[in-house]
Amino acid sequence: MTILDGKALSTQLIDSVKEKSAQLSPTLAVILVGENPASMAYVRNKRRACERAGIEYQEFNFSTDITQKELLDKVEELNQDDSINGMIVQLPLPDHIYVPEVIRAINPKKDVDGFHAYNLGKMFLSSEFEDLPPATPSGIVKLLDHYDIPIQGKEVVVVGHSNIVGKPISTMMLNRDATVTTCHIFTQDLATHTQRADILIVAVGKEKLITADMVKDGVVVVDVGMNRNSEGKLCGDVDFEEVSKKASYITPVPGGVGPMTVAALILNTVHATERQKQ
Ligand code: GUN
């Protein structure tokens, strides 16, 4: 069994753009609403990665009582500001904010999270048009590629159908000619699907959703989950201790997909800047 070391690869990828970044001097703007501890931790990691890559980082903090209009106005201001090359709005947002409208407001050329319908739609066409792909799916593909894990012709089972992970990673796997099954909360008998997987990608947010009896020997496991267990420790959606005994490759939590999301964001930011300056 090999651990898919997202932490190490992330550092390597971030270091690989330093030179380009020094030429382009990109700026990333991050909008954070409220004080959700997980969001604050993610944003801190993004800031550190920017510092390492030589990307200027600007953070805009708002309290949870911000209105839809105030948030949209901030996005528009950053759209108009030529010194800002990339912009992300950290999710989740408070319940009174209508997220699709916020994402739609971001200039697709600055949408380094790859959440805008324009970027998602382009990705749908083929891997060639994955120009600003969503950060987490993009990070997963880079991790599999780095370890030379073949995708073409493989049975890929994705558990979770969110717009930011499940749906786009299913599309990216299809772009690479996998046979893709996307499971979700309404899937009947999840185990019959996961047991067929050559590559199992889980993005649900439920501790120990995937147990050893649900996977076959030699499976490649990518765990996108980020949960706290009863002892307060970070854990994924997969019972790592038991499933790792059957897996050929598996991502740890933390240190697997999380850092790869950050690396993909950095690469998208440099790429977006390059495009804008062409
Ligand atoms: N919340 C969880 N993951 C992400 C992400 O990749 N980007 C943003 N903006 N918010 C998130």
Q: Whose CA is nearest to atom 11 of ligand 1?
A: 91
In a domain, 53, yes or no: yes
Residues 60, 255, 149, 192, CA torsion sign: negative
Q: Is 53 in the pocket of ligand 1 (CB under 6 A)?
A: no
Q: Whose CA is nearest to atom 9 of ligand 1?
A: 90
Asked which of 55, 74, 108 is the last residue of a domain, the reply is 108
In a domain, 265, yes or no: no
The answer to whether residues 147 and 213 belong to one domain is yes
- The tens digit of pLDDT for each residue in 12-48 reads 999 999 999 999 999 999 999 999 999 999 999 999 9
Three-state secondary-structure class, residue 64: coil
Ligand 1 atom at minimum distance from 89 CA: 9
In a domain, 43, yes or no: yes
In a domain, 142, yes or no: yes
The answer to whether residues 75 and 158 belong to one domain is no
Residue % of the chain over a pLDDT of 70: 100
Asked which of 91, 108, 125 is the last residue of a domain, the reply is 108
Q: Is 111 in the pocket of ligand 1 (CB under 6 A)?
A: no
Q: Is 135 in the pocket of ligand 1 (CB under 6 A)?
A: yes
In a domain, 16, yes or no: no
- Report d(CA 200, CA 213) in Å as an integer: 14
Pocket test for ligand 1, best of 113, 204, 226 (most atoms within 8 A of CB): 113
218 C-alpha to ligand 1 centroid (Å): 30
- Whole-number Cα distances in Å, 177 to 45, 232, 273: 33, 39, 30
240 C-alpha to ligand 1 centroid (Å): 23
The answer to whether residues 147 and 241 belong to one domain is yes
Domain count, the chain: 2
- Count of beta carbons in the 10 Å neighbourhood of residue 131: 16
Q: Is 10 in the pocket of ligand 1 (CB under 6 A)?
A: no
In a domain, 9, yes or no: no
The answer to whether residues 189 and 78 belong to one domain is no
Report residue 222 as tokens.
């990518």
The one-letter code for the residue type at 152 is Q
The answer to whether residues 150 and 233 belong to one domain is yes
The answer to whether residues 57 and 143 belong to one domain is no
CATH of the domain at 157: 3.40.50.720
Q: pLDDT tens track of the chain, all 278 residues?
A: 999 999 999 999 999 999 999 999 999 999 999 999 999 999 999 999 999 999 999 999 999 999 999 999 999 999 999 999 999 999 999 999 999 999 999 999 999 999 999 999 999 999 999 999 999 999 999 999 999 999 999 999 999 999 999 999 999 999 999 999 999 999 999 999 999 999 999 999 999 999 999 999 999 999 999 999 999 999 999 999 999 999 999 999 999 999 999 999 999 999 999 999 98
Report residue 57 as tokens.
């980082």
In a domain, 6, yes or no: no
The answer to whether residues 100 and 144 belong to one domain is no
The answer to whether residues 90 and 186 belong to one domain is no
Domain range holding 98?
A: 24-108
198 C-alpha to ligand 1 centroid (Å): 27
The answer to whether residues 152 and 251 belong to one domain is yes
The answer to whether residues 33 and 81 belong to one domain is yes
CATH of the domain at 39: 3.40.50.10860
Q: Is 21 in the pocket of ligand 1 (CB under 6 A)?
A: no
Distance from first CA to last CA of the chain, Å, rounded? 44
**What residues act catalytically?**
46, 90, 113
- Report d(CA 140, CA 264) in Å as an integer: 9
In a domain, 248, yes or no: yes
Q: Is 136 in the pocket of ligand 1 (CB under 6 A)?
A: yes
List all residues 6 or more positions away from 75 whose beta carbon is below 8 Å from its beta carbon. 31, 87, 89, 102, 105, 106
**pLDDT at position 140:** 98
pTM over 0.85: yes
231 C-alpha to ligand 1 centroid (Å): 25
- By CB atoms closer than 10 A (0-12, 13-18, 19+), residue 3 is middle
The C-alpha angle 89, 91, 92, rounded to 5 degrees, equals 140
